Structure 1
Amino acid sequence: MSFLALEGKHALVTGARGGIGSAIVNELLAAGCNVTAHDLQPFDTTPPPNVFHVQGDISDEASIASCLKQAQAHFGPVNILCANAGITNEASHPNIWELPLETWENVYRVNVRGTFLTIKHFLLAARSAQETLGRELENLAIVVTGSECGKFGQAGHAEYASGKAGLQYGLVRTVKNEIVRLNSKARINAVAPGWVNTELIGDRLDDPKELYFEAQGTVPLRKIAQPMDVAKAVAFLASHEAAGHMSGECLSVDGGMEGRVVWRPEEVLKGGGRGMEIVQAPSATSIPQSLSKPQTAKKIKLAISVDFDAVSGWLGTGAHPDNSTSDYSSGYFSAHVGVPRLLKLFARLGIADKLTWCIPGHSLETFPSQTRAIVASGAEIALHGYAHESASQLTAEQERDVLTHCIALIESLTGKKPRGYRAPLYQLSERTIALLQEHEFLWDSSLSHHDSKPYYLPLNPAPIQPIDFSPHTKASSWMHPSPDFASLPASDLVEIPLNWYAEDMTPLQFFPHTPNSAGYVDVRVVEQIWRDRFEFLREEAREGEEGLVFGLVLHPDTSGMAHVVGMVGRFLEWLRGFGEEVEWCRYEEIAGEFRERSRRMDGEAR
């Protein structure tokens, strides 16, 4: 677990286009959050996958309510609110008896009314999400960005200081006492920045503090903070892991100014300072995600694959005398709806050419246009039987004929022989392993001797004999160990392991004639299983474990469904958020690298 433990949490940041707001967004992204970035002004860049842009006015109740709904629809329930949006008047600093009422009311409309409405609808959204989930949301936290002048007062900022003071000491502490009725561990805190080195958005790009100091003829004694200084404080307060027993507090990020922002030149201590110094942000731009482990993390290879079973799934392993046209219909859905939806999703994420599709020969021949679209995406194409048949359903001759026919189909389609194989329903035999080795396949992905590391399959293994428990046999005839794959002579066939918990279909697809059929499972349960698997591997990688693979099997039949595809997209975007810690790979790339690394290590050992 990281220091902040914010990985996968959904944060909404208002005022996200500003200097402090954008720094908060970046800090939360570095902590592993999905971030909804909200601002009154439109965003002029395309967001990365783990950022969602929404535009709206926090002082308009319908607008902020709509923005919360959009955020939830995109990333799921919002765990963290960073109420950062606000305005101040940097153009002039009148005495309070000269302050126009219009200026006072405009600042109050955004800073007080807007912050209240943002918090109100965040809590309403949290209540609704908890009612749907049937449990409390994790890490429910609010962080309000106030002002150092609101905490201590400052001449020429009456409208701003009084509004921020009301937020920091009135609203924050009131919400602190009420929020626990909604969520027993929920918290609210505030950050009060002093002068921060942000640029003025508009016609003047000069720093507003420099303009102010120049106009006043004064020099600050302290260094001015950077936006990242404020962002780190916000991320700290947002984390239950780091600040879980803090609520109703207001942290100053003012370098000890305490309201005395400017000093007359004659009041500056002689020899003690040389005027204002704008310090650059340090190279480390985020709170370290680990305080104890060395930075030796190895990359995790993301082995995302798709099994395009379609109608074949009902013909082989799914064969049943009661299968009907209605059952086969879901196979046509797979081809005509599921495949285009997944291809569109993969293209949007920029990973279409980094995946592996395992396609039965029946699907190749029945749905040629969909198959051509898959090939055109740049993905690797691997074998998956012909009619999704189990090895136990075939004779040795039939299995050989199926394999050679499907090799020819893919070779005619792609111009090269397939290098990988996945047994339908993972049901291969020792005979299958020998056949793959005979045809010089590079990899198989049907077994589960491990759950996250490739390994070599044995060379032409003998079948494991079942035990005959019939009354006429003696126990001594079957009390003997089975051969251990690891102790047998190894082949060059690389196994990229998978298991039933690494796929979508088993829990999320209903099959009327299958005894263990599921299907009526909340997609968030499956998503959490996948996240837990990845988080464990991530911790292993952080400790220096090498060669880790996160495998996942999707099906257009299942992941193409309207209530599932959004979760799949959300999960894949979450994986993308880990940046340099992960690498998207085709199975052939993983197997090839494993072979190369193994041979290099063998050479070094010799």
Structure 2
Amino acid sequence: MSFLGIDRCHAFVTGAAGGIGSAIVEELIAAGCKVTAHDRRPSPLSPSENLYAVQGDISDEKSVAACIAQAQQHFGPINILAANAGITDESASHNIWEQSLEMWESVYRVNVRGTFLTIKHFILAMQNAQKETGEELSNVAIVVTGSECGKYGQAGHAEYASGKAALQYGLVTTVKNEIVRLNSKARINAVAPGWVDTPLIGDRLDDPRELYLESQGTVALRKIAKPEDVARAVAFLASHRTAGHISGQCLSVDGGMEGRIIWREEEVLGSKSQVSNRTKSSDSAAPALPVQVNPPKPENAIKIALSVDFDAVSAWLGTGANPENNTSDYSAGYFSGIVGVPRLLKLFAKLGISDKVTWMIPGHSMETFPEQARAIKDSGCEIALHGYSHEGAEQMTAEQEKDVLAKTIELATKLTGKKPRGYRAPLYQLNERTISLLQEHDFLYDSSLCHHDSTPYFLPKNPAPIEPIDFSPDKKAATWMKPSPRFMDLPKSKMVELPCNWYMEDATPMQFYPHTVNSAGYVDVRVVERMWMDRFLWLRQEIEDGRDDTTVFSLVLHPDTSGMAHIIGMIERFLRQLQSFGAEVEFVTCEALAQRWRDEQQRA
């Protein structure tokens, strides 16, 4: 079960082709819902087993009834209604005495009549479903969305404000009192988005939001809500587990900006050119405000050890070597450097975590893609080693492995100006010899093993290999019936192991390697996203239950995989979900994490 507890619920979302509507659909699917997306326009989201799209006119009762019937036929009874459809004219600014009757009726037809019809037929469908089964549907919830101006009022949007106010304070309250006659736990609430970062309708230069943002600079931009913020509020209210008995309420999602602009900038300061000159003047500009004052992080915050293996072409030369590899295969490696790296660097900068990421770079990639390697270094990240040509330990002699490590240390030191302190074995293929060699070079940490999945540990000094069993006919069973060395009891080194595993990386499920046995490549990104989130939420629960050791959430990305167009959006969505936990998480480089953990153990 997900945290929201709405797994397998059927949600019906109107206005689903818009910016907020699409975000609501994606949020509910990520929470485990089956979603019917309704709009007059085709859905921009990719079809999936959990998404069904219907098209219709929300202001036409026959159309609404038919679409709800289609939804029930496809996914079964509807538990959740997200009544999100609505229109407004953001490109114009009219006082109420300037409103035309045509404009008023157009907005009323969609925003009020349409929402009423959707709620009416949702409740009728619920009533019929309950008659058939003889019991109440579970988790019945209605969430209406409407502009913040419907709550506070706003000059220039009188028709929209009045219509939405009628919904949020009239229809919502009425339905709250009536729906419980049919379902004792059913609830209805509203979400009032403030200024949301969605595309403007039209491109008028005197758009009131544009003028205000220009006058306020980047401070205002930081306060604007994103569609995802509204979607999370909808998901919260849709969940009986999280929202409890909340009903008849209106939650604001405004980022600190309620949208109550009574006077536009040009009405106070003059023309747009005067506004622009004012904001560009250093002596009259508003003082800069800090982006965020971060609260102190709790000692037991989950450490997000995000790393990127920049394998590129080298992946096809070492562990991925195959006599059938061809130019098309190598091309995926070039995509990694040419497309994948810039996309990930842009994403990390957008999320403000560039200097909290560890890039594991093979020497071959440093030399084949020098511009990308420098861009990675310039992002402020940590750079660690990952072989030269992605060689597995068993592919090399001891002398070859020594030469590879010496060469890659030299390349990384030349790139960054300091000796690397971390290592990940290509394809996690290291052996006892590798561990001893890393210790000889005084590496701080390795990140290739999984004796644990979320807690660092010290690697043993010069560990002995585990011998494979010889099942030859002349061998007696007594020769192999003996325990392996107890890893936890061996003498410890000073080198830290930061655990990772196959389930916390992108390539294995989502990258297709034609000549690799365990290649998948066609797994839905949402399956992987949910697996990662389930893992995170379990670790989080462990902390709530009193676990006090260091909790590490490792995540390994590859530019050739996560850089692909159908995957990078999921990566951004997942990382933003982690960031939404605030002080409960801390993004940290592998070097900083390993050093901190080793210092703590030595003080203990």
User: What TM-score do the two structures reach when normalised by structure 1?
Assistant: 0.62
Matches within 5 A, 1:107-506: 108-109=108-109, 112-113=112-113, 115-116=115-116, 141-144=141-144, 165-166=170-171, 168-169=173-174, 189-190=188-189, 237-242=237-242, 251=248, 298-506=300-508
Asked if 1 retains the 8 angstrom alpha-carbon contact of 2:445 and 2:498, the reply is yes
> Is 2:112–2:167's contact at 8 Å kept on the other side of the alignment?
no
Separation in 2, partners of 1:414, 1:529: 35
The answer as to 2:567 corresponding to 1:552 is no
User: Distance in 1 between the 2:345 and 2:555 partners?
Assistant: 16
SS in 2 for 1:357: strand
Distance in 1 (CA, whole Å) between partners of 2:514 and 2:185 is: 43
Asked if 1:583 is matched to 2:586, the reply is: yes
Give the whole-Å Cα distance in 2 for the aligned partners of 1:594 and 1:578: 22
Amino acid at match of 2:518: N
Q: Which stretch shifts more, 431-440 or 540-549?
A: 540-549
Do structure 1's residue 81 and structure 2's residue 48 form an aligned pair?
no
**C-alpha separation between the residues in 1 aligned to 2:423 and 2:191?**
59
Structure 1 residue 235: Cα displacement: 8.2
SS in 1 for 2:325: coil
Question: Residue 559 of structure 2 aligns to which amino acid in structure 1?
Answer: P
Identity between Structure 1 and Structure 2 (%): 58
Change (3 A) 1:68 1:369: same
Letter in 1 for 2:574: F
**d(CA) in 1 for partners of 2:344, 2:181:** 44
Residue 188 (structure 1) shift? 5.3
Structure 2 CA distance for partners of 1:420 and 1:65, relative to 1, 3 Å? farther
**In structure 2, the residue corresponding to 1:483 is in which secondary structure?**
coil
| Aligned position for 1:598 | 601
1: CA distance, partners of 2:596 / 2:562: 29
Distance in 2, matches of 1:233 and 1:504, equals: 29
Shift of 1:542: 2.0
TM-score, normalisation: structure 2: 0.62
Give the 3-state SS of the residue equivalent to 1:305 in structure 2: strand
CA contact (8 A) 1:108 1:163 kept: no
Against the structure 1 CA distance between its residues 159 and 527, is the aligned structure 2 distance closer, same or farther, given a 3 Å change threshold?
closer
Q: Matched residues in 2 for 1:474 and 1:565: separation?
A: 54
Q: Deviations over 1:347-388 (max 9, x none)?
A: 111111110010111111111011111111111111000110
User: Structure 1 568/549 Cα, relative in aligned 2: closer, same or farther at 3 Å?
Assistant: same
What CA RMSD, in Å, does the superposition of the two structures yield over aligned residues? 4.9
- 1:170-227 C-alpha deviation (Å, 9 max, x unpaired): 69968998xx9xxxx996524799xxxxxxxx9xxxxxxxxxxxxxxxxxxxxxxxxx
Instruction: Tell me if the contact between 2:355 and 2:380 (Cα under 8 Å) persists in the aligned partners.
Output: yes
Is the 2:83–2:119 contact (alpha carbons within 8 Å) kept by the matching residues of 1?
no
Residues 134-168 of structure 1: CA deviation (Å, up to 9, x unaligned)? xxxx97842248999xxxxxxxx999779965565
Q: Is the 8 A contact 1:391 1:428 kept in 2?
A: yes
Q: What do residues 317-345 of structure 1 show as CA deviations (whole Å, max 9, x unaligned)? A: 11111111111111111111111111111
Q: Which amino acid in 1 is paired with 2:578?
A: L
Q: 1:107–1:160: 8 Å Cα contact kept in structure 2?
A: no
Aligned 8 A contact 2:82 2:234 in 1: no
Which amino acid is 1:339 matched to?
V
Deviation at 1:36, TM superposition (A): 7.2
Between the aligned partners of 2:532 and 2:163, the Cα distance in structure 1 is 52
Deviation at 1:437, TM superposition (A): 0.3
SS in 1 for 2:388: coil
Whole-Å separation in 2 of the counterparts to 1:65 and 1:140: 25
Structure 2 distance, partners of 1:515, 1:503, is 17
Query: 1:525, 1:501 → 2: CA distance?
Result: 12
Residue 549 of structure 1 aligns with an amino acid whose one-letter code is V
CA distance in 1, matches of 2:487, 2:164: 75
